[in-house]
Chains A and B, each alone.
Chain A
Amino acid sequence: MNRAADQPEPNPLREGLSARAVPQPCSIVIFGATGDLTNRKLIPALYNLAADGDLPPAVAIVGFARREKSDEQFRAELEKATRKFSRQPVRDEMWKTFAQAISYHQSEFEDESGYKKLAKRLDRIDKEHGTRGNRLFYFAAAPDQFEPILKHLKAAGLNEACKGSWARVIVEKPFGSDLGSARELNRIVRNSFTEEQTYRIDHFLGKETAQNILVLRFANAIFAPLWNTHYVDQVQITAAETLGVETRAGFYERTGALRDMVQNHLLQLLCLVAMEPPTDLSADSIRDEKVKVVRSLRRLPRSEVAANVVRGQYTEGAIHGDPVLGYRQEQNVNPGSQTETFVALRLFIDNWRWADVPIYMRVGKRLPKSATEISIHFKKAPPVLFNKGLSDQNVLVIRIQPDEGISLRIQAKVPGTSFRIEPVKMDFHYGTSFGKASPEAYERLLLDAMSGDATLFARRDEVEEAWAFIDPIEEAWHSKKDAPGLFFYAAGSWGPEDADDLLARDGRAWRRL
């Protein structure tokens, strides 16, 4: 959102043309260039940026992977993928120019000579394309490859840039699988790149509505006085998807919903909802406030996990009327798997603003609909006048996906001679009000990394604090004695009944989505 400290002198010709930090010419090296992420997300995102004129013309893309492949083969594969996954149709002439800047670098991740050749290649690209010695390394490879890649990048001197240039690294999640491994990963990264050079990507933060949370809160005076324990009764965050594990069974079996979604995406959303106003819009000011939220999360001792966290796993059922398999019947899943595909949590932020406000989170696969939403439930009006016997609350809903928008539920009088009161919804839909399609999250985040704006990327301490909160839950689940149970739910339902009980015990219920 703001220019980073290392952002260069402004270009006078840019004044008034762009309200964002300007991306710099650079070479983008993608490790794991033949993988799904590159094909589905990264290259289509870069193409869309180029087609919209947002990519600096001097950008070169180098795919780094093991398989033997020529530049032409690589470009042809990427073209095919981009035509399939791009947000906007691919234009031949635009692709042709865009593709000129793409090349393929074949090397094993462990082969030191491959990185030395890469360094030479990047020097050559700087001369030919005017990429000015700026390098962005994108780790789209498996996490167990990070260490050799980082080690060899350093050995080849690619972790450092010449004066006036920069070298940055984008790391894809998972950022470890627990606090220990996250610290280890951070240590490995830090051995080669400083924290300022490191961009940990969480694509949820690149979504338009996630960014709009800050605007909603800090550009609208109406909400500021209400955004605290005095007026908020509870907060709910739901990330539901109809999909099962699909092709990710191998990964999911080791990970589960808590690590896959809660540790990163959901806690990041919670931070945006619960943080204090930052002193300015610089990356570190915002991240300073976010990390305070995670630090203030009440830790759950092993003995309290069962009372505050429910884990579930889907069994066979139906989604949109189509029968689907249970998790344990999915391909590559252990038939006796204890991996959770659903988690519901009740948590508290022990700080001045949020004391005693329960935060309920749920995330799950094979739920009846796909939706990610945050709802702020305000306290009830005093039970006098119109409110005698009225149980409804004002609810502010922030829809992250799909149908991004915001709605507010208020009470209104039903027309007629009697005083009947019903809840009505005031609704704002991005798609209705703004005809222009939002860019994909990866487009925004790639551009931010090229601009040196780390606001929407997770910082080391945020990641580690999040794991410090998650770890006791995982430990309780995997303890040999008195481990909380795994509850089952039919695919197409809203999770196990125990998740409903979690709120019912507090006299509350999940919001109907």
Chain B
Amino acid sequence: MPPITETYSLGLPVEIGEIDQELKKLWEKSEGAMTRASLVNLAVYSEELGSLEKNTQLIAKITENHACRAIVIGADCRAKENRLEAWISAHCHVSRADSKQVCSEQISFLLQGPCTTLLPSIVFSHLDSDLPFYLWWQEEFSEPMDPQLWAWVDRVIYDSRTWKDFRAQLHLVETAQQEARQRIVLCDLNWTRLDKVRFALAQFFDHPASHHHFSKIKKVRIDFASGYRSTAILFAGWLAAQLNWRADKTTAHELQFIGPADRKIDIELRERPGEPVREIALETSEMEFLVTHAECGDLLEVSRRKTGEKHVPQLMPAGKNDPVSLMSEELMRGGPHHVYLHAVNCIRDLL
């Protein structure tokens, strides 16, 4: 058995049919010194070369805060020869409560060739019973979407930022969602990426006395980093959905929405180096609300400016853009993402 410590290796190679017995042995060898913990089945699917090792590293970090049974799958559908290999390992961390070693299991699969069609059966036979099943799909979706697999998924996690054809991809996901026998929650890491910025902007309007600003918004500026245009548009979609704006005109650098009472709202999109969404400025006729990344990077500076009012910027957590942070954030959430779906509906034709 490999050492039961934090490791990024794939662990012990095992026969597919022996996985359960080998996992059992793993825990027997620990002689009670470790506690196995699992709140969710987290399957990660990738077709990228070397993804098994990369995802093992991510899982090692994610399990520090989210105990799960991880099923990591690396697939190569184009290979001609069948190859199916499996490994088991454990990611152990010292619990904050009582210094115990708390461990999450990982089962890794390498699938090559036609055997990749075995994906559903491989996943199903290794789920930890009675726990929800989250599928982190790191590839573009393609037809046919396996109905057998989708019928079991509770949450599907993806990152729409890398989608080449947003509308087509979303159509596939939504169709699979509708055809599944149970409710699948769509979790877009590109949406999760916006959490802290949305939070920072939202807090300006917590007091009802500030709600009148909604009807005075004239212009929104979103500064985004190269490769994050879709993130910026998703943010615009969120504002539009929540404030009842509808899309009107689009250019490369500007979106125009029509608000209640046929009011025009311009959204300027500016590509700037830095964080995915570096700065949001929301202008009304009398005030500017600004959310910007502070110098130190992982904090947001929020401020509002009005003549005669003292400028008191505050700092808030900015969140991070790495996959571990985004996944950890996503795994903390529960319930459906209605707001996301509303936002997507507002901008699906703009992406």
Interface residues of A (CB under 8 A from B): 8-9, 11-18, 22-25, 50-53, 56-58, 93-94, 97-98, 100-101, 127-130, 132, 164, 402-404, 429-437
Give the residue of B64, B239, B339 whose beta carbon is less than 8 angstroms from that of A435: B64
A509 and B292 alpha carbons, distance in the complex (Å): 61
CA distance A8 to B196 in the complex (A): 23
- Give the dominant DSSP class at B's interface: mixed
In the assembly, what is the distance between CA of A431 and CA of B240, in Å?
40
Instruction: Please report the C-alpha to C-alpha distance between residue A130 and residue B204 in the assembled complex, in whole angstroms.
Output: 10
B312 touches A12 (CB 8 A): no
Contact of B96 among A93, A94, A435 (CB under 8 A): A435
Minimal beta-carbon separation of A358 from chain B (angstroms): 31
Interface residues of B in 202-217 (CB under 8 A from A): 202-203, 205-209, 211, 214
Q: Nearest chain A CB to B137's CB is how many angstroms away?
A: 22
Of the A-B pairs whose beta carbons lie under 8 Å apart in the complex, a sample of 24, sorted by A's number, is: A12-B242, A13-B205, A13-B239, A16-B337, A17-B198, A18-B199, A25-B207, A53-B317, A57-B203, A93-B315, A97-B315, A128-B309, A128-B312, A129-B312, A130-B304, A130-B309, A402-B97, A402-B98, A404-B97, A430-B97, A432-B35, A435-B66, A436-B332, A437-B96
Compute how far the CA of A307 lies from the CA of B237 in the bound complex, rounded to whole angstroms.
69
Q: Is B120 an interface residue, CB under 8 A from the partner? A: no
Known: A430-B97, A432-B95, A432-B102. A17 touches B206 (CB 8 A): no
Q: Are A433 and B39 in contact (CB under 8 A)?
A: yes
Min Cβ gap A319→B in Å is 20
Task: List, in ascending order, chain A residues with CB within 8 A of B64's CB.
Answer: 435
**CB atoms of A431 and B95 under 8 A apart:** yes
CB distance from A434 to the nearest CB of B (A): 8
List the interface of chain B (C-beta within 8 A of A). Answer: 35, 37, 39, 64-67, 93, 95-98, 100, 102, 195-196, 198-203, 205-209, 211, 214, 239, 242-243, 294, 296, 299, 302, 304, 309-310, 312-317, 332, 337-340
A9–B212 CA distance with the chains assembled, in angstroms = 12
Residues A100 and B332 in contact in the complex (CB < 8 Å), given A56-B206, A435-B65: no
Q: Are A25 and B98 in contact (CB under 8 A)?
A: no
List the B residue with the shortest CB-CB distance to A25.
Answer: B207
Q: How distant is B293 from chain A, measured CB to nearest CB, in Å?
A: 12
Query: In the assembled complex, which residues on chain A have CB atoms less than 8 Å from the CB atom of B66?
Result: 435
Q: Closest CB of chain B to A453's CB: distance in Å?
A: 14
Residues of B within 8 A of A52 (CB): 317
Q: CA–CA, A400 to B66, complex, Å?
A: 22
Given A57-B302, A101-B312, check contact A8 B97 (CB 8 Å).
Answer: no
**Which residues on the B side are within 8 Å of A164 (C-beta)?**
208-209
Report whether over half of chain A's contact residues are helix, strand or loop; otherwise say mixed: loop
Q: Check if B205 sits within 8 Å of A11, measured CB to CB.
A: yes
Chain A residues whose C-beta falls within 8 Å of the C-beta of B201 in the assembled complex:
13
B202 touches which one: A9, A13, A129, A130 (CB < 8 A)? A13
A435 neighbours in B (Cβ, 8 Å): 64-67, 93, 96
Asked if residues B35 and A132 are in contact (CB atoms below 8 Å), the reply is no
CA distance A130 to B337 in the complex (A): 32
Residue from B67, B196, B294, B314 within 8 A of A57 (CB atoms): B314
Residues of A within 8 A of B239 (CB): 13
Pick the residue among B97, B214, B299, B315 that contacts A429 (CB under 8 A).
Answer: B97
Query: A200 to B243, alpha carbons, bound, how many Å?
Result: 38
Q: In the bound complex, do residue A15 and residue B242 qualify as a contact, i.e. CB atoms below 8 Å apart?
A: yes
Q: In this complex, what residue of B is CB-closest to A128?
A: B310
User: Could you tell me the distance between the alpha carbons of A23 and B207 in the complex, rounded to whole angstroms?
Assistant: 9
State the Cβ distance, B189 to closest chain A Cβ, in Å: 16
Residue of B nearest to A428 (CB): B37
Q: Are A53 and B102 in contact (CB under 8 A)?
A: no
- Specify which chain B residues have a CB less than 8 angstroms from the CB of A17 in the assembled complex: 195, 198-199, 202, 339
11 further A-B pairs in the complex, CB-CB below 8 A; given A94-B315, A429-B95: A13-B243, A17-B199, A23-B206, A52-B317, A93-B315, A97-B315, A98-B315, A164-B208, A164-B209, A435-B65, A435-B96
